[in-house]
């Protein structure tokens, strides 16, 4: 009897991740394909959408080949994607330039103009999100002012997942969960506000029709079948925001449940059943209908430890090579030998500016408390703790609008470290559950595909069948008390250094 599978695709920041699952959430095959990120000028961060598509095609072909998957086994496809991608395409769907991704912060002046023109309070009340250069509308305005020929030729502005859906089906779409990236999207009604778009000088017809995330947009075309190896006619759903798909893949489907993200970037997503707006946090639709996610998105996640490993971690890499294990495992072991607080070493994880809740593109990473007695292990643990403090900063901020996260579900590469996950539990004072799958985002996208073609009767059945908790970390109260004092100093350090970051930026540009 032939298997039946669901394919999840994740267009992430560092690469395209693909995984095929059976209907019980077991992985039948998984592939990761890398692509480049380009930094043409300070604050400019771009990717080539054509490379996204080539990575998708190559990844599907590799999965079919390497895991013996019959394309006819794939019942449906779901696509997750990184947020705030500003991708203009022409009438044929051809990208007109590289995509300005979520890390791109060139549109500072355009964001400032938006605040002056319409008022930030008004835009936050409509869209639920702060006006920041990372979002899509400031980037659209930047294009209109600096590359008018691109803006004028743009037929649609697409999100990362929507571009892949278009390449698969030939149909333009915009899912609900990614709508919050546009400040003329009404976060309460789930609709475009054409009046506000007009006041901003933008053409509302340049955005695509809105679909539910689990809604079938179309089927794999003959051309896409030839390029990917999929069967022509395979259903493709709209998919959604990677953080929202990841939240579903973590099993978060009820208000109050919270996903903690331990990927390249960090953050959290609290499910709420009404649009709770906080000007310092991120509010999007969940991939579930009529549910929202109050999110904290941080630049510092597992990428901070990756930076240390690549630039400064020669010792850990050597030990890893000798023992035949990963340097990540070695660093986790080393961090576990240091007591909470890293003997007075604190790390601010603002390695590329910071998003919520400080929204400061000029902030930078800081080690505070370095001394001759500090070792590689101290630095590693302080990096892990700094990411934990940034998580708590967002959780505390969410409580200001009565969004409470009483327990967390941790996903992403960092969740594989028992030491790091326990540090986060001790810092936040909350239990942290870790699912058995390392593929929460692609699983969430696959679950949306399953919902779209009727594999699951509802999201509760989808989660019950596919998400399984492998371990739970209970916070140590004595460690939590220690961390509360360090956390207070962490907050004070940023407040004291805020003006210094401005000066440093002026000196370095």
User: Is the same domain home to 154 and 278?
Assistant: no
User: Is the same domain home to 203 and 345?
Assistant: no
Residue numbers of the domain that contains 485: 302-397+477-508
User: Is the same domain home to 488 and 415?
Assistant: no
Compute the residue count for the chain. Answer: 509
* 439 part of a folded domain: yes
Say which CATH number the domain at 427 has. Answer: 3.30.420.40
User: Is the same domain home to 31 and 100?
Assistant: yes
In tens digits, the chain (509 residues) has pLDDT values of 568 999 999 999 889 999 999 999 999 999 999 999 999 998 999 999 999 999 999 999 999 999 999 999 999 999 999 999 999 999 999 999 999 999 899 999 999 999 999 999 999 999 999 899 999 999 999 999 999 999 999 999 999 999 999 999 999 999 999 999 999 999 999 999 999 999 999 999 999 999 999 999 999 999 999 999 999 999 999 999 999 999 999 999 999 999 999 888 899 999 999 999 999 999 999 999 999 999 998 988 899 999 999 999 998 999 999 999 999 999 999 999 999 999 999 999 999 899 899 989 899 999 999 999 999 999 999 999 999 999 999 999 999 999 999 899 999 889 999 999 999 999 999 999 999 878 999 999 999 999 999 999 999 999 999 999 999 999 999 999 999 999 999 999 999 999 999 999 999 87
* 246 part of a folded domain: no
User: Is the same domain home to 144 and 19?
Assistant: yes
* 245 part of a folded domain: no
User: Is the same domain home to 377 and 494?
Assistant: yes
Judging by DSSP bridges, how do beta strands 156-158 and 282-285 pair with one another?
unpaired
* 188 part of a folded domain: yes
pLDDT at 237: 98
Q: H helices then E strands: how many in the chain?
A: 17, 24
User: Is the same domain home to 410 and 345?
Assistant: no
H, E, C per residue of 189-200 = CCEECHHHHHHC
Indicate yes or no: pTM above 0.75: yes
Residue 250 in contact with residue 467, Cβ under 8 Å? yes
* 359 part of a folded domain: yes
User: Is the same domain home to 355 and 424?
Assistant: no
Number of domains in the chain: 3
User: Is the same domain home to 421 and 485?
Assistant: no
* 500 part of a folded domain: yes
Is residue 232 helix, strand or coil? coil
User: Is the same domain home to 148 and 266?
Assistant: no
User: Is the same domain home to 205 and 325?
Assistant: no
User: Is the same domain home to 103 and 169?
Assistant: yes
* 244 part of a folded domain: no
Find tokens 């060139």 and name the residue.
106
Nearest to 388 by CA among 422, 333, 427: 427
Which residues lie closer than 8 Å to 30 by C-beta, 6 or more apart?
17, 18, 19, 20, 63, 439, 442
Phi, psi torsion values for 325, nearest 5 degrees: -130, 175
* 243 part of a folded domain: no
């Amino acid at each position: 009897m032939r298997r039946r599978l669901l394919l999840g695709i994740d267009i992430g920041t560092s690469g395209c991740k693909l995984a095929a699952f059976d209907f019980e959430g077991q992985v039948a095959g998984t592939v990761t394909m890398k692509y480049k990120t380009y930094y043409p000028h300070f604050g400019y961060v771009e990717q080539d959408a054509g490379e996204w598509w080539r990575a998708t095609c190559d990844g599907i072909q590799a999965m079919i080949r390497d895991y013996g998957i019959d394309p006819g086994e794939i019942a449906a496809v779901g696509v997750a994607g990184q947020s705030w991608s500003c991708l203009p395409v022409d009438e044929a769907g051809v990208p007109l330039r590289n995509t300005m991704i979520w890390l791109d912060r060139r549109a500072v002046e355009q964001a400032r103009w938006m605040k002056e023109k319409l008022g930030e309070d008004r835009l936050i009340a409509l869209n639920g999100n702060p006006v920041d250069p990372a979002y899509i509308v400031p980037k659209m305005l930047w294009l209109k002012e600096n590359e008018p020929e691109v803006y004028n030729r743009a037929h649609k502005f697409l999100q990362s997942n929507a571009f892949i859906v278009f390449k698969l089906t030939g149909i333009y779409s915009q899912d609900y969960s990614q709508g919050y990236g546009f400040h003329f999207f009404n976060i309460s009604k789930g609709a475009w506000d054409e009046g506000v778009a007009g006041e901003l000088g933008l053409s509302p017809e340049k955005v695509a029709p809105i679909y539910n995330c689990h809604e079938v947009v179309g089927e794999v075309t003959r051309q896409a079948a030839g390029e990917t190896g999929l069967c022509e006619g395979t259903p493709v759903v709209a998919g959604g925001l990677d953080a929202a798909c990841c939240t579903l893949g973590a099993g978060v489907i009820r208000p109050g449940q919270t996903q903690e993200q331990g990927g390249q970037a960090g953050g959290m997503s609290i499910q709420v059943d009404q649009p709770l707006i906080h000007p310092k946090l991120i509010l999007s639709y969940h991939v579930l209908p009529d549910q929202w996610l109050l999110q904290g998105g941080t630049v510092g996640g597992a990428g901070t430890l990756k930076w240390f490993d690549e630039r400064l971690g020669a010792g850990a890499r050597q030990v890893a090579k000798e023992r035949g294990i990963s340097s990540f495992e070695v660093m986790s072991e080393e961090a576990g030998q240091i007591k909470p607080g890293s003997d007075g070493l604190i790390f601010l994880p603002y390695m590329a500016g910071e998003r919520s809740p400080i929204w400061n593109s000029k902030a930078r990473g800081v080690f505070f408390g370095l001394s001759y007695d500090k070792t590689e292990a101290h630095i590693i643990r302080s990096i892990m703790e700094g990411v934990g403090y940034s998580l708590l900063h967002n959780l505390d901020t969410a409580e200001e609008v009565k969004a409470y996260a009483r327990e967390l579900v941790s996903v992403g590469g960092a969740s594989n470290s028992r030491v790091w996950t326990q540090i986060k539990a001790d810092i936040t004072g909350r239990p942290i559950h870790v699912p058995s799958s390392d593929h929460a985002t692609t699983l969430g996208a696959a679950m949306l595909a399953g919902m779209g073609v009727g594999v699951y009767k509802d999201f509760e059945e989808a989660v019950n069948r596919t998400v399984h908790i492998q371990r739970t970390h209970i916070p140590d109260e004595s460690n939590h008390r220690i961390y509360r004092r360090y956390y207070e100093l962490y907050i004070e350090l940023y407040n004291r250094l805020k003006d210094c970051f401005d000066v440093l930026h002026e000196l370095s540009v």
